[in-house]
Amino acid sequence: MTDLLVTNGRVVTQDPERTMIEDGAVAVEGQTIAAVGPAAEFVAADADHVIDAEGGAIIPGLVNPHTHVSDILLRGSFAEDRGLLDWLYNVKRPGTLAMAPEDHALAATLYCVEAIRAGVTTFVENDTEVLWDDWSTIEPKLDVYDRSGIRNVYGAGMVDRAAVPEFQELVEDIQAREPDVDHPPLDIFVEETEAVVDEVASLIEAYDGSADGRQAVWPAPVVVETTTNEGFRRAYELAEEYDVMTTVHVAEAEAEESRDISSIEYLRNVDYLGERALLGHCVQIEASDVRLLARSGTSVAHNYMANMRLATGYAPAVEMLDAGVTVGLGTDNSILSDTVNPLGDVRAMAGGHKGYHRDPGVVPAQQAFDMLTIDAARAIGRGDELGSLEPGKRADLAVVDLDHPHLTPCPDPVFALVHAAQGLEVDTVVCDGSVVMADREIRSFDIDPDDLLSRATAAATEIVERTGYE
């Protein structure tokens, strides 16, 4: 007996042949895809529950390999006309540290609702502001992720190196722009290597594999500049020990590439590159770095919209793709991309690289869509379970309503999803075989959407005032 049948849709399988089934169906048994094929081969009466896609696109659940959650409550506040360090030290860091545990839970709820409505079934959160004296800002979010019904990876931020004096002076000069803001000390997150490794290991043991397997925890060194050699080695060893991955922000701004060797060369030297590593950004890297990534099997999260907003530059994503590096597209901070919407970001990314390279042939629609699905799943080490609609894989999928003027005509759903969809066309989301959203209504959360938006708006106002902004 089929538990769930999603039928009467244009199935974008994302299998190795990128098979498209014009009038197709996906059958689900338990948490797993049991069969994919023409709708005529399935009998609706044999299914406990039937979802009629009504000619829409049935796609794999989208995978967001790099994002941040708590700062969603700072969206629209003081983030205009700022470079990376100005934004980080005058907006994001003071704002997130002014948040109480209940604010983090509220941010996580708002984030998950927005992500689900955009068709996301898996996301990797990079929590870069972790105070390890307790888990009071971590556990409320993990509880929300559990209840959300979708998959999450919690990247547990690791900082075991204090900023050098020259960088401290630079930050002080940057913070002078906002003298009324309550700036936290630069070393507030620094822990001894062994202490932070023990904390992350404890968090992995407590939460990795929880929420019926939908929750994961990774060691996540924040940046190269705040991580010791030993910190990187221990992070990768943790990933191996617990059979997870590890992630870090790398080469996002020119200021990070001031040493005689590149960040990628450095990570190679400290044994951090490899199949368990996912590097965020990789904007300021050279051809030799790309080759190192390809040879080592290291994956990259390309955060196009955030890097455009901060004017940090174009990551060599085309060169990485050409070299065989696995690249997924991340939305990064919701106060930089400003939405948790991969379908919105992918349109800008694919078009932007064509313009930057003056080559309309780079990042074709199929490759761009791969970066949201199968390649994003591979980038987070889950390509054998997620990212495509194939028998035996986890039952994560979305139905996109194609019956809109801006999607008509639609001879090629993949082209339409990349170059015309806005993300608001997602109608239904299924994760692990459970219906998380149907008819644009969230089913996993017992929340009043209007009340959520009202509470989030009020909390955001209080956080801004708490932070010291006028």
- Among the listed residues 178, 166, 283, the one whose alpha carbon sits nearest the alpha carbon of residue 225: 166
- Among the listed residues 122, 108, 104, the one whose alpha carbon sits nearest the alpha carbon of residue 66: 122
Whole-number pLDDT of residue 385: 98
| CB-based contact 50:26 (threshold 8 Å) | no
Q: How many helices (H) and strands (E) does the chain have?
A: 16, 18
Distance of CA 81 to the CA centre of its chain: 24
Indicate the burial class of 248 (C-beta count within 10 angstroms; 0-12, 13-18, 19 or more).
Answer: buried
Q: Six-digit token pair at 94?
A: 């003071």
pLDDT in tens, 241-251: 999 999 999 99
Q: Six-digit token pair at 307?
A: 């890097």
- DSSP of 357-405: HT-TTSS-HHHHHHTTTHHHHHHTT-TTTSSS--TTSB--EEEE---SG
- DSSP of 282-341: --S--HHHHHHHHHHT-EEEE-HHHHHHTT-----HHHHHHHT--EEE--EETTTT-S--
H-run or E-run covering 5: strand 2-12
Whole-number pLDDT of residue 77: 78
Alpha-carbon distances of 360 from 172, 304, 428, rounded to whole Å: 44, 18, 33
The secondary structure of residue 92, as a DSSP letter, is: I
Give residue 336's pLDDT band: very low, low, confident or very high (50, 70, 90): confident
Whole-number pLDDT of residue 175: 94
What residues contact 334, with CB distance under 8 A and at least 6 apart?
67, 68, 69, 71, 72, 75, 111, 114, 340
Spelled out in words, what is the top-level CATH class assigned to the domain 2-60+387-439? mainly beta
pLDDT in tens, 353-397: 999 999 999 999 999 999 999 999 999 999 999 999 999 999 999
Residue ranges, CATH 3.20.20.140, the chain: 62-379
pLDDT in tens, 16-59: 999 999 999 999 999 999 999 999 999 888 899 999 999 999 99
Whole-number pLDDT of residue 80: 79
What is the pTM assigned to this prediction? 0.97
Does residue 293 carry a pLDDT above 80? yes
Q: Which residue has the tokens 């991309």?
A: 337
For 62-379, the fitting CATH number among 3.20.20.140, 3.40.640.10, 3.40.630.10, 3.40.50.2300 is 3.20.20.140
Give residue 14's pLDDT band: very low, low, confident or very high (50, 70, 90): very high
What percent of the chain is predicted at pLDDT more than 70? 99
Query: How far apart, in whole angstroms, are the C-alpha atoms of residue 389 and residue 33?
Result: 7
Q: Specify whether the backbone of 30 is left (phi greater than 0), alpha (psi in -120 to 50) or beta.
A: left
What is the amino acid identity at position 437? M
- DSSP of 112-127: HHHHHHTTEEEEEEEE
DSSP, collapsed to helix, strand or coil, labels residue 229 as helix
Whole-number pLDDT of residue 255: 64
Q: Six-digit token pair at 78?
A: 């003081």
Tell me the average pLDDT across 187-212. 96
Residue ranges, CATH 2.30.40.10, the chain: 2-60+387-439
Whole-number pLDDT of residue 352: 97
Q: Six-digit token pair at 345?
A: 């970001």
Query: How far apart, in whole angstroms, are the C-alpha atoms of residue 281 and residue 22?
Result: 36
Max alpha carbon distance in the chain (Å)? 70
Where are the alpha helices (H) located in 120-209, listed in sequence order? 139-148, 165-175, 193-207
What residues contact 257, with CB distance under 8 A and at least 6 apart?
251, 263, 284
Give residue 86's pLDDT band: very low, low, confident or very high (50, 70, 90): very high
H-run or E-run covering 278: strand 277-281
